[in-house]
Structure formats: structure tokens, C-alpha cells
């Protein structure tokens, strides 16, 4: 299976690799800008002190004075900067997944066997045109921008639920950017293609999240000792994991199209 050979870690193996290197550099610069070139004020020490005092007040009848809250306009700008950087990172992963699917279909145009060993159905051999791909990517970016903050809030509150639905949600941009389905039909299609692959996708996504949080934990520990290293290590891990996730989505989507329902179901059907 795909999760066994870890081909999705080879993020530079896409076409000639030039576009991926440029994408990696841009995403790394965007993530590093949060630490090296912050927009606004990243100092929230006074706000943290104010929050601690508020939580320490056990009087349930006490009124909260929001006018005295030390959260400045510059702090809000910095929060927007962080959200924008994370949004661009997510869209970078989505772009990588779409590019991988398109390149995979170009490489297999003669209808030779795919990576799974099975012939690719002709309806999933036609690659999406560049103008249509760009248009769909822009539309998808607008949709993600609208639901980005609510989804982030959901992740913080129900992280376990996010792990469960993440494999399905990750397939939505693949269904749409591949050109197989439209904007709304992709919602039902992302569930349909997951048949037989949900467990392996959830496992792989969980491993990628673990790598991300481990790298974030190490970079946070280095922040006090070697801040210069932490400013680069944290964004480097984030960008790498994001592109790995994008590559995995592209690889597994092509596999799911070649072998609907998984190898076990396809082999069982062939025996009959």
C-alpha cells in the first residue's frame, strides 16, 4: 500500500521539480515572516496578564471591563498576519495536491498501468486544463477563506472530531481540482471515493499531525535557547508537513480512482 513505501515524503518528485521548489521557498518565506517580519505587535504579555487576572477572579457577579483589555490594533494586525500565513500554507498544500493529480494523469495518458498496477479508468485520465485549474483554485481559495476561521475554531474545540473528518475533507480539493466533479458535487464525491480507504487515510493523517506537533514542540523548546534556529525550524517543519500532506492526498486520490473500494474489494471482485 501507499502508506508502506512512504513515497509521499519525496515532495520534490513532481514533474521537473522546479515549481515545487519555488512553492516550497514561497511558503517558507511566508511562514518565516511571522517571526522575522511581523506585521503588527507580537507582544501579548499584557493581554496574558489581564487574562490571568480575569480567570483568577472567582466572583461570578464581577463584570468584565472589556474597555481596559490590553489588546491593541497592532496585536490584531499580528493575529491577522498569522492567520493569513496559515491560510496560504493550507492553499499551498491544496495546490500541490492538484498539481500532482494533473501531472500523474499527463504521465499516464497512454492508459498504461498506474502505481497500483491496475489500468486507470479512461474517465479519470483526462487532465484538467491550466486555465480551468487556475480558475478552480481561485474559487476554492475563496471558499476556504470563508470557512477558515470557523474551521480553526472547530479544530481547537473538537480536535478528536477533526482527526476523524480530516481524511474526508482532505479529499474535497482533490475531487474539485482534478476536474472530475463540480464545486458542490465534490462534497458527496469525497465521501464516495473514501470507501475502503478511510482507516489508512486517517492513520496517515494522524502520523503527519504527530510529526507537525513534534516539530512544533521542539521549535518551541528551542525558542528560549536558540531563537534564531527556532524561527526557521518551526516554519520549515510546517511547510514540509503541509506539502507532504498535499502529496499524499494527490497520491491516494489517484489510487482510489484506479482501485475503487481498495485492493481487497477489487481483488475479491476479480475472483468472482
8 A C-beta contact, residue 114 and residue 259? no
CA 130 to centroid of chain Cα atoms: 22
Whether 231 maps to a domain, the answer reads: yes
pLDDT of residue 231: 86
pLDDT of residue 30: 94
Whether 174 maps to a domain, the answer reads: yes
CA 160 to centroid of chain Cα atoms: 17
- Residues 230 and 271: their CA atoms lie apart, in Å, by 55
pLDDT of residue 119: 61
pLDDT of residue 268: 40
| pLDDT tens, per residue, the chain with 272 residues | 444 456 778 888 887 878 899 999 999 999 999 888 888 888 888 888 878 777 776 665 556 666 777 888 888 899 999 989 999 999 999 999 999 998 888 887 666 655 655 566 666 667 788 888 999 999 888 888 887 667 666 665 666 667 777 888 888 889 998 888 888 888 888 888 888 888 888 888 888 888 888 988 888 888 888 888 888 888 999 999 999 999 999 999 988 888 876 554 444 434 33
Phi-psi region of 120 (alpha: psi -120 to 50; beta: other; left: phi over 0): beta
Whether 143 maps to a domain, the answer reads: yes
- Residues 256 and 23: their CA atoms lie apart, in Å, by 26
Whether 253 maps to a domain, the answer reads: yes
- Residues 251 and 40: their CA atoms lie apart, in Å, by 39
| Three-state DSSP state, 146 | helix
8 A C-beta contact, residue 91 and residue 29? no
pLDDT of residue 267: 44
* Cβ neighbours of residue 62 closer than 8 Å, sequence gap 6 or more: none
| Three-state DSSP state, 40 | coil
pLDDT of residue 165: 78
Whether 48 maps to a domain, the answer reads: no
pLDDT of residue 29: 94
Domain count, the chain: 1
Domain of 8, in residue numbers: 2-33+91-271
Whether 59 maps to a domain, the answer reads: no
Summarised one tens digit per residue, pLDDT across range 59-80 is: 655 566 667 778 888 888 999 9
Summarised one tens digit per residue, pLDDT across range 136-191 is: 999 888 888 887 667 666 665 666 667 777 888 888 889 998 888 888 888 888 88
Amino acid at each position: 500500500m501507499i502508506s508502506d513505501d512512504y513515497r509521499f515524503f519525496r515532495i520534490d518528485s513532481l514533474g521537473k521539480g522546479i515549481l515545487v521548489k519555488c512553492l516550497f521557498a514561497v511558503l517558507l518565506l511566508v511562514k518565516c515572516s511571522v517571526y522575522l517580519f511581523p506585521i503588527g505587535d507580537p507582544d501579548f504579555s499584557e493581554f496574558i496578564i489581564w487574562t490571568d487576572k480575569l480567570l483568577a477572579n472567582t466572583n461570578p457577579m464581577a463584570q468584565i471591563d472589556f474597555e481596559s483589555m490590553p489588546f491593541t490594533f497592532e496585536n490584531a494586525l499580528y493575529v491577522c498576519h498569522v492567520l493569513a500565513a496559515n491560510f496560504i500554507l493550507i492553499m499551498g498544500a491544496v495546490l500541490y495536491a492538484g498539481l500532482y493529480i494533473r501531472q500523474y494523469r499527463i504521465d499516464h495518458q497512454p492508459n498504461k498501468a498506474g502505481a497500483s498496477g491496475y489500468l486507470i479508468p479512461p474517465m479519470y485520465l483526462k487532465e484538467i486544463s491550466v486555465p480551468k485549474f487556475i480558475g478552480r483554485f481561485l474559487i476554492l481559495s475563496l471558499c476556504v477563506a470563508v470557512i477558515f476561521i470557523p474551521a480553526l475554531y472547530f479544530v481547537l474545540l473538537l480536535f478528536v472530531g477533526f482527526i476523524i473528518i480530516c481524511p474526508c475533507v482532505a479529499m474535497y480539493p482533490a475531487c474539485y481540482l482534478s476536474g472530475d466533479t463540480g464545486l458542490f458535487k465534490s462534497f458527496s464525491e469525497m465521501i464516495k471515493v473514501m470507501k475502503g480507504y478511510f482507516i489508512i487515510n486517517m492513520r496517515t493523517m494522524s502520523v503527519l499531525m504527530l510529526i507537525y506537533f513534534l516539530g512544533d514542540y521542539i521549535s518551541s523548546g528551542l525558542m528560549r535557547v536558540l531563537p534564531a534556529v527556532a524561527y526557521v525550524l518551526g516554519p520549515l517543519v510546517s511547510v514540509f508537513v503541509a506539502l507532504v500532506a498535499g502529496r499524499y492526498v494527490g497520491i491516494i486520490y489517484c489510487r482510489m480512482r484506479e482501485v475503487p473500494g481498495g485492493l481487497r474489494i477489487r481483488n475479491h471482485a476479480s475472483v468472482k
